[in-house]
Structure 1
Amino acid sequence: MAKITLRKGSDRGTANHGWLDTHHTFSFADYYDSRFNGFGALRVLNEDVVQPSTGFGRHPHREFEIFSYIISGELEHRDSLGHVEILKRGNVQHTTTGTGITHSEYNVHPSLPVHFLQIWAKPNKARLPPRYVTGTFEEDRKKNTLLQIVGPIEETSGAVDDEKEVKGDDPVGIHANLRVYASILSPGSKVDLPPVKTEGRKYYVHTLQTTGSSTLRSSTQSFPLSPGDGAFIESLAPSDQGLSVEASGDSEVEFLLFETE
């Protein structure tokens, strides 16, 4: 039987630096909790709000798969590969940091904040060449369904080479054992989680802190999820059925589903 553990949004690590209001699902920077040091390949899940005309200055990364899911506003990306791009709602920007890269993320808008998820995954290969790619996933494709937006690169046909933008139905390919799905549920609507095909797979559900309330249901239990809450779903077997997320209030619910092992 599936084991489900709630991660309340209010219990996440937080820091408010004035220019940045951030919430950490897992141990990060000055926040440490031995219970939350990653989940399978997933290592970092930060929900960030950056104020206008501020941002993260140029800084280095290596040996991580890093991507950003833009919720609202505009985020300027610059990196040592020469890329400059303004990311907006619907964009998923991915960087393989590999042997090393520097980048900056800045809110260039003069009056509006930018709200996004910063996500890191542990790659399944070391010393990969750095790579940058952007996927665009329209709102309608996420409505009342699970849209895969990220997956292991060997399972995807898009974004194999640098400088290539993901289009059509292709998820962004990453060098990690991680699949990510996005969904926007209308009030009263629900979506079933994908069936588990192999032993050892597990899920993490993350609801965005700016949307409405929802309920995670299994065949025997239900778990209310407030904005910003998450849930770890483990000990899954192919025989487990009936897992779903439902928008239980009168507002839309946007959430991401992470599948790993």
Structure 2
Amino acid sequence: MENTILHKAETRGHANHGWLNSHHSFSFANYYNPERMHFGVLRVLNDDQVEAGMGFGTHPHDNMEIISIPLEGDLEHKDSMGTVAVIKNGDVQVMSAGTGITHSEYNKNKDKLVKFLQIWVFPNRKNVKPRYDQITLKESDRHNKLQQIVSPSPDDEGAWINQNAWFQLGKFDKGVKTDYAIKAKGNGVYAFILSGDVTINGQKLNKRDGLGIWDTDKLNIQADSDAEFLLMDVPMIV
């Protein structure tokens, strides 16, 4: 029997620090909701907006897979492995924190916002050697189809993480439909609508809504307007 959980955009946690305006789909920092601790191994989904020239100072992580998806602007990353990189819309960054890593993230631009999704996934292996990777996507590869951007294997499409998880981006014109088969037994999908209106398995969704679906093997997706969305196919047992 299919199970679903709906998180409307306006029900998310919200923190506005001036330099950072962040919406939290799951409990994070000062936002605590016992009914929204995680969706399977998906622990954090933050919709962040950072003011020009501002950012997150150096801070630590360990035993977490961290995925950053820029939506607008340029985000500069520096870490304790010596990585210095700028990611922008069209890029996907992954960081396996493993045994421990410190990093900082700043808005590279002095005159415009940077907007990005910060996603944390519990790993399936602890204390791995820390690792950084980034890829650049072609927007045409998600026009009216699903583009795989994260996978569990370096031999598969997209950036890879230490978890049996697959992420897909879609940028659909109004009226386009597709089916998505969940990749692994015991996985569910958390869908997040970046823009526009989408119906998934009969549930109408709008911009920044989230929908978790599990105990099913496929999704029926229809764009009710021009729309962009993210599917996160993740194990339901942490």
* Fold match by TM threshold 0.5: yes
Say whether the 8 Å CA contact 1:42–1:178 is kept in structure 2.
no
Instruction: Establish whether residue 229 from structure 1 lines up as the match of residue 223 from structure 2.
Output: no
Q: Kindly state the Cα deviation for residue 197 of structure 1 after the two structures are TM-superposed.
A: 5.3
Query: Which secondary structure does the structure 1 equivalent of 2:10 belong to?
Result: helix
Instruction: Establish whether residue 205 from structure 1 lines up as the match of residue 185 from structure 2.
Output: no
* Alignment counterpart, residue 172 of structure 2, candidates 162, 185, 198: 185
**Structure 1: gaps spanning 5 or more residues:** 159-169
Q: Kindly state the Cα deviation for residue 91 of structure 1 after the two structures are TM-superposed.
A: 0.5
Q: Kindly state the Cα deviation for residue 214 of structure 1 after the two structures are TM-superposed.
A: 1.7
Deviations 1:63-118 (A, max 9, x none): 11111011111000001111111101110011111111110000020111111100
Question: Any residues of structure 2 matched to 1:216-255 within 5 Å, and which?
Answer: 216-217=200-201, 222-236=202-216, 238=217, 243-249=219-225, 252-255=226-229
Give 1 or 2: higher strand fraction: 2
Cα distance in 2 for partners of 1:76, 1:187 equals 34
Please report the TM-score for the alignment, with normalisation by the length of structure 2.
0.94
Q: Kindly state the Cα deviation for residue 191 of structure 1 after the two structures are TM-superposed.
A: 2.3
Instruction: Establish whether residue 111 from structure 1 lines up as the match of residue 98 from structure 2.
Output: no
**Structure 2: gaps spanning 5 or more residues:** none
Cα distance in 1 for partners of 2:72, 2:138 equals 13
Say whether the 8 Å CA contact 2:182–2:189 is kept in structure 1.
no
Say whether the 8 Å CA contact 1:204–1:259 is kept in structure 2.
yes
Q: Kindly state the Cα deviation for residue 44 of structure 1 after the two structures are TM-superposed.
A: 0.6
Which sits farther off after the overlay, 35-44 or 22-31?
35-44
Please report the TM-score for the alignment, with normalisation by the length of structure 1.
0.86
Ranges of 4+ aligned residues in structure 1 off by more than 2 Å: 195-198
Cα distance in 1 for partners of 2:140, 2:15 equals 33
Count of paired positions: 235
Say whether the 8 Å CA contact 2:183–2:233 is kept in structure 1.
no
Instruction: Establish whether residue 258 from structure 1 lines up as the match of residue 238 from structure 2.
Output: no
Query: Which secondary structure does the structure 2 equivalent of 1:144 belong to?
Result: coil
Query: Which secondary structure does the structure 1 equivalent of 2:181 belong to?
Result: coil
Say whether the 8 Å CA contact 1:12–1:24 is kept in structure 2.
yes
2:131 aligns with 131
Question: Any residues of structure 2 matched to 1:44-123 within 5 Å, and which?
Answer: 44-123=44-123
Identity of aligned residues (%): 42
